[in-house]
Amino acid sequence: MDLSVLLTFLIFGLPLIGFPFVIGIGFIRKNYSMYLGTSLIFASFLISLYVFFNYTVNGVVIQSSFNWLPGLPAVIPVGVYADNLSMIMALMVSFVGFLIILFSVGYMKDDPNRHVFFGEMVLFTSSMLGLVLSSSLLMLFIFWELVGLCSYLLIGFWYYKPNAASAAKKAFIVTRVGDVFFIAGIGAAILYSSGGALSVAGLGSIHLVWQKTIVSLLLFGGAIGKSAQFPLHVWIPDAMEGPTTVSALIHAATMVTAGVYLIARTYTIFTPTSLTVVLYVGVVTVILSGLIGLVVNDIKRILAYSTIGQIGYMVAALGLGLGATSIGLSIYQLEAHAFFKALLFLTAGSILHAVMNVRDINKMGGLWRKMPVTVTAMFFGALALSGFPGLAGFFSKDSIISASYGVSIFAWVLLAIGGFLTALYAFRMFFRVALGQPRSNAAEHAHESGWVMLIPVVILAAFSVIFGVFQQGFYNFLENPPAAHLFGIAPLTTLDVTPVILMLAAIGIAYYAWGRNSSLPSTVTNGARDLYLLVKNKFFIDVLFTNVIAERGVLGLSAVSDGFERRAIGGLVDASGNLFENSGKVLRKIQTGLARQYAMIVLIGLILALILLRIFILYGVI
Amino acid sequence: MMIFQLSYLFLILVLVMIVSMVARGKIARYLTILFSAFVFVFTIVNNMTLTNFDYGVLSILALSFQLNFVSSVLLILISFIGIFVPLRYGSSPGFFVLLQFLMFSLVGLFTTRDFIVFYIFWEMVLIPSFFVIGIWGGKSKNYAAMKFFIYTHVGSVFMLLGIFTMYFTEHASTFSMATLISGIGTIPMAYQSFVIFGFLFAFLIKLPTAPLHSWLPDAYVEAPSEGTVFISALLSKMGAFGLLVIFAPIFMASSFAGSTAVPAALIALGIFSLIYSALVALYQKDMKRMMSYASVGHMSFITIAVGGFLYLNGSNPLASQLLYYGAVFQLISHGIIIAMIFALVDTLERATGTRNIPSLGGLARQLPVLSFLILAAFLASVAIPGFSGFVGEISILLGSYAVLKYYLIFVLAGVVLTASYHVFALQRTIFGPYNEFLGNIKARKEELLVAIFPLILIFILGIYPALIFHIFHINAIQFLGGIHI
């Protein structure tokens, strides 16, 4: 085997093989699993770096596959495929994964089950790396399910919390709904290409447009579930019951962007029809999550809705249908988002660590003085999220908004409003956390975290600030040469300034409403009571899924089936049993033992038989 | 090349059985392992794709046997159960003699190429199962045993009538499967329909497919745990084997080949069975009963696969083979997974004194290892990648897209429902706050240790399915040929 292929396998293979040892070594001494887990992911990162700089930047696409299911008429490939897109994802995943696992060393140091936690984190990171390096749709799906499994296990890591157990279940089932569409998509791809389209390199072997549309829409269904787009976004906010580092790694930086990666990977089969669907699902998600994010009080849930919205931008960017430019826009937003959202989650984690896990932002306040480094980092995270000029989110998000103008003005308007909402909820959260007086006992006794938790935060903050400088190189890397009119490459126009003005206005409003004591929020909620209730109830989508479909629909149907099973089917079987038993009891009575009666019965039978024979002959049956 | 003759295997197995019967004490338990080892060695030293054993003709019986890839997979499963059960359970010697008798019958059933011999073995299997449920069963063991016996027997009567119909209308000299099946296209349509109905009825009861499944929950729940393990792992495979190796060739050789009514009905029945069993399972409180319905759900994939395979009638080789091979793989993976699950449910019941789901909760705190094993077994049952259940299920799902197109949504709904009740049960048993009424409980170490054995197999098959897939060759099943590339 070629060295490059071996190394690419090792990127995800090393932690995959290592994860049982991470748990195993924990039985000797629990802290060892923290060190082993962290070093495994660091090793993955180093290998990714090596592969990246030795092969990928030189234009080498590493491919290697073997047949997973021999004996079939077509090859079912599994293996690695490392091109620019895969490697840039692998670098991000291993780097952010390493930083978050390093943070976890401090964050989870007192948990009695931390060896299991680190084992699962390592398994997750390796599966995610496997996902981005997969050479075939089937292998992608395998890792797709494995990251989902890790997400399930890690959301339910604090299994004794009823909320965590319930959230884990919800996440599993909702993403499963998306996953089955992915399965159907693979099935369709196999059918329409005789198996050729299974491998990433062979996607072009689906030729007809309607076939491409079907396959791409089905795959997009999988992406909706995993990337928490409308209407399957309901699982992420609940998933915040898991440890915060899990939220940072899985539900912000990496796993939830797997859907975006899937679309980017299979972009060649997306037709204009399916791209329109993709665009509007993204746009609707942006607006929806922005509105809900404004009324939620749980700090982690605000970040969760923000994640949904930012992924909505990535999806919308792909839906613009600009070819490689779309992929560039979307993946750049993905990477920028990974940095600033991981940063926001980690700072939120530090804060929660300090305030005894009170997650209500109304019970915080005044933390800037108590935890200066953490909250300053959070400030930069919020600025980057809002798209403050010069920070990561500005280059990534605003370029998507500007690019959408050329495709659909309607989409541009909605995406720009989405940017306004983003800044509004981001700074609502920040001002409630950082400014004013501490509003609870826990917030008064908050203190700064240790260095293990600060180093990753500072690194991520630095990346959130300076990531913009990579924009040009990034586009060059994914699309050579990049489209010249792109935002950040061409000079700014009035069009590009609009989102910036909206963003600044949003920060101003946020300060006016939440940065100081103000009656504005309550005035607005009382004024628009109906709208407020609609948003506060998350547009009743959760209610629809949980109360109507799951509890009334499925559980009701299940109760009916159970009754049918016991009464109808079971009753029928018992009744037929009783029928034979009772007819036996009746017929038993003619067994009298009297020869005369037997002779009589024989005679009657004979006469009947002769009559029957006569009838048969008459009608020509015999 | 010297091959391990099947006749020698039968002789050895009978000898082992006789020794187990006369010997006292624990010897029967260990001899069962030896017994299984012979079956295993026999399977792997022969060509597992196709080996024929011809021992001439005895009056009207054709003494020809065949080890094809489906029977090889099932023989491996038999030997797994024959090793797992004695390791896990220290039951009475009589149980192990009955188990050996059952395994012997199954080895005969899966290898014979004669219909009467097939029927004899088919009925022989019922005897040990009946006694195991009737002697060592739970509260209503007599009811369950009688129901099981009579229900499945009704099915086999129709199969026997079907066999006789073929034999007499074709004027055959022996009951050899090869001749009888290849001649079926020549007999009148009414007789052909009856033959197809008879076999289908018998196999669908044995599989079982809802609504012909009601013997199963009672039999599984009332049987002792060791009985449930082998009944669930092995007996349902008789119906599946019948569908794949007997029914499918009969159908394809008959004048019905290429028609879509019967295959479509089979698919519909499979989908109904999948969704129905999942819905009923969701409502069950008894974990053992819930997993019985899970077993019905898993086997309904076989119905869907066979229906889809016959529907395609060789028109799409890739999809056909995905369906067929997926079904065969599903047999072994389901056998191992369900055996592990029922063994774990037993461990759980012994540790906590109950298998009632609402009375459990938060077991991960008190029984971490058992919880991990239950979690793993359930995930395998949900068909998460990495576990063997995934390979069979994904092959069938991918293959069935070619048949079902957008109707696949119903199968997928069944898949989601299946995941739901597993996860729902996990939430209420091993997750959540600990139920303090359970007190300070402990699971037996040796039982947990033994459960790792199937888990390892599940992982190996899930990660490297080529281990089984490399023996698959569709043309090895007679009359299904012509589906090559």
B252 occurs within a structural domain:
no
Domain of B326, in residue numbers: 261-485
Contact B464, A197 (CB under 8 A): no
- A140 pLDDT band, cuts 50/70/90, is very high
Closest among B264, B273, B272, B339 to B306, alpha carbons compared: B264
A450 touches chain B (CB under 8 A): no
- Do B365 and A565 count as a contact with CB atoms less than 8 A apart? no
B121 occurs within a structural domain:
no
Task: Give mean pLDDT, residues A438-466.
Answer: 82
Cα–Cα distance measured from residue A351 to residue A367, given in angstroms and rounded to the nearest whole number: 8
Q: Is the pLDDT of residue B159 over 90?
A: yes
Contact A48, A4 (CB under 8 A): no
Phi, psi of B284 (to 5 degrees): -80, 145
Phi, psi of A619 (to 5 degrees): -90, 5
Task: Give mean pLDDT, residues A323-328.
Answer: 84
A172 vs B394, B408, B419: nearest CB? B419
Contact A319, A282 (CB under 8 A): yes
A489 touches chain B (CB under 8 A): no
pLDDT tens digits, B50-78: 888 888 888 888 898 999 899 999 999 99
Q: Tokens 């996440």: give the residue.
A: A171
Max distance between CA atoms of chain A, in angstroms, equals: 117
A570 vs B214, B322, B466: nearest CB? B214
The confidence score (pLDDT) of residue B272 equals 94
B379 occurs within a structural domain:
yes
Q: Is the pLDDT of residue A326 over 80?
A: yes
The alpha-carbon gap from A69 to the nearest alpha carbon of chain B, in Å, equals 5
A598 touches chain B (CB under 8 A): no
Residue of A nearest to B380 (CA): A149
- For residue A561, list chain B residues with Cβ-Cβ distance below 8 A: 276, 279-280, 283
- B110 pLDDT band, cuts 50/70/90, is very high
Residue of A nearest to B415 (CA): A180
Residue of B nearest to A157 (CA): B431
B465 occurs within a structural domain:
yes
The confidence score (pLDDT) of residue B440 equals 83
pLDDT tens digits, A363-415: 887 788 888 888 888 999 999 998 888 888 888 888 888 888 888 889 999 99
B35 touches chain A (CB under 8 A): no
- Residue B41 has, within 13 A of its CA and on its CB side, a CA count of 13
Cα–Cα distance measured from residue B44 to residue B36, given in angstroms and rounded to the nearest whole number: 12
- A480 pLDDT band, cuts 50/70/90, is low
Q: How far is CA A406 from CA A176, A398, A399, A476, in A?
A: 36, 14, 12, 21
Q: Say how many Å lie between the first and final Cα of chain A, rounded.
A: 77
- For residue A161, list chain B residues with Cβ-Cβ distance below 8 A: 433
Comparing A478 with B459, the larger pLDDT belongs to: B459
B365 occurs within a structural domain:
yes
Overall domain count for chain B: 1
B351 occurs within a structural domain:
yes
DSSP reduced 3-state for A66 = strand
A184 touches chain B (CB under 8 A): yes
Phi, psi of A549 (to 5 degrees): -75, -50
The confidence score (pLDDT) of residue B344 equals 93
A191 touches chain B (CB under 8 A): yes
- Do A72 and B322 count as a contact with CB atoms less than 8 A apart? yes
User: Which two three-digit tokens encode residue A519?
Assistant: 């009656």
A vs B: CB pairs below 8 A: 153
B42 occurs within a structural domain:
no
Q: Is the pLDDT of residue B485 over 60?
A: no
- For residue B434, list chain A residues with Cβ-Cβ distance below 8 A: 160
Task: Give mean pLDDT, residues B317-324.
Answer: 90
Q: Is the pLDDT of residue A511 over 50?
A: yes
Q: Which of A144, A157, A191, A210 to mutate: most B Cβ within 10 Å?
A: A191
* Residue type at position B216: L
Q: Is A264 exposed, middle or buried (0-12, 13-18, 19+ CB in 10 A)?
A: buried
Q: Is the pLDDT of residue B178 over 90?
A: no
Cα–Cα distance measured from residue B200 to residue B314, given in angstroms and rounded to the nearest whole number: 20
- A489 pLDDT band, cuts 50/70/90, is low
pLDDT tens digits, B192-211: 999 999 999 999 999 888 88
Contact B287, B425 (CB under 8 A): yes
The confidence score (pLDDT) of residue B484 equals 40
The confidence score (pLDDT) of residue A3 equals 87
B287 occurs within a structural domain:
yes
**b/e burial code for range B379-391 (CB count within 10 A of at least 16 → b):** bbbbbbbbbbbbb
pLDDT tens digits, B362-378: 888 888 899 999 999 99
- Reported ipTM: 0.92
Max distance between CA atoms of chain B, in angstroms, equals: 71
The alpha-carbon gap from B63 to the nearest alpha carbon of chain A, in Å, equals 30
Tell me the helix, strand and coil percentages in chain B, rounded to 5: 75, 5, 20
Query: Element (H or E) spanning A77, and its range?
Result: strand A77-82
The confidence score (pLDDT) of residue A531 equals 85
DSSP reduced 3-state for B62 = strand
- For residue A170, list chain B residues with Cβ-Cβ distance below 8 A: none
The confidence score (pLDDT) of residue B2 equals 58
User: Which two three-digit tokens encode residue A335?
Assistant: 């990477």
User: Across-strand partners of A134?
Assistant: A80
Contact A494, A401 (CB under 8 A): no
Share of chain B above pLDDT 90, in %: 57
Q: Is the pLDDT of residue A512 over 60?
A: yes
pLDDT tens digits, A257-269: 999 999 999 998 9
Contact A336, A342 (CB under 8 A): no
* Residue type at position A603: L
Dump strand ranges (E) for B339-382.
none
Residue of A nearest to B391 (CA): A69
- Do A146 and B384 count as a contact with CB atoms less than 8 A apart? yes
The confidence score (pLDDT) of residue A488 equals 61
Contact A33, A118 (CB under 8 A): yes
* Residue type at position A542: D
The confidence score (pLDDT) of residue B243 equals 93
Comparing A493 with B49, the larger pLDDT belongs to: B49
